[in-house]
Amino acid sequence: MARYWIVVASADHIRTAVDGHFVQAGHGRRAPVETFHHGDGVACYAPRERISAGAKVQAFTAIGEVKGDQVLAVDRGAIGMHHRRRVAWQDHASSAPIRPILDQLGFTRDRGAAWGLAFRRGLFEISKDDFQIIAEAMGVARP
């Protein structure tokens, strides 16, 4: 049975992941990507353009499906090993600002000004219904 996830990263890091057909979480640590399995849905949320800087984005900017169960290790030299999973990203997904759907999502509904607390985890599981709401806001059917 598929599970559904949100990965939080800067918009520039999400673009790199989409271009490379992968997902990583937790700054490349292995444990976070071991939670993903073939067929799981992944939506990426970008709070800002760049890590700890840049313009606010506050939008879902990529959505896709995990392909395969292999964790890929990539040597980033001085940065160290990064662990990733292959993802088939939706080519025609549009960026979807979160504010118009805050009251529809189970993990943000009724949180008022504290709606962003869920995203501080960096990676978290969501319901199939929430994933569908995000997919529809991005203009795609369930990936």
| Residue 2 and residue 41 in contact, taking contact as beta carbons nearer than 8 Å | yes
Q: In terms of DSSP H, where are the helices of the chain?
A: 11-20, 30-34, 128-137
More confident residue, 38 or 114: 38
Greatest Cα-to-Cα distance within the chain, rounded to the nearest angstrom: 44
Boundaries of every domain in the chain: 4-135
Indicate if the pLDDT at residue 143 is higher than 70.
Answer: no
List pLDDT tens digits, range 65-93: 999 999 988 877 666 778 999 999 999 99
Q: What percent of the chain has pLDDT over 90?
A: 69
Residue with tokens 């504010």: 99
Cβ atoms 8, 17 nearer than 8 A: no
CATH 3.10.590.10, domain 4-135, yes or no:
yes
Residue 111 binned pLDDT confidence (cut-offs 50, 70, 90): confident
Closest CA to 122 of 50, 55, 45: 45
Quote the pLDDT of residue 54: 82
Q: Quote the pLDDT of residue 28.
A: 84
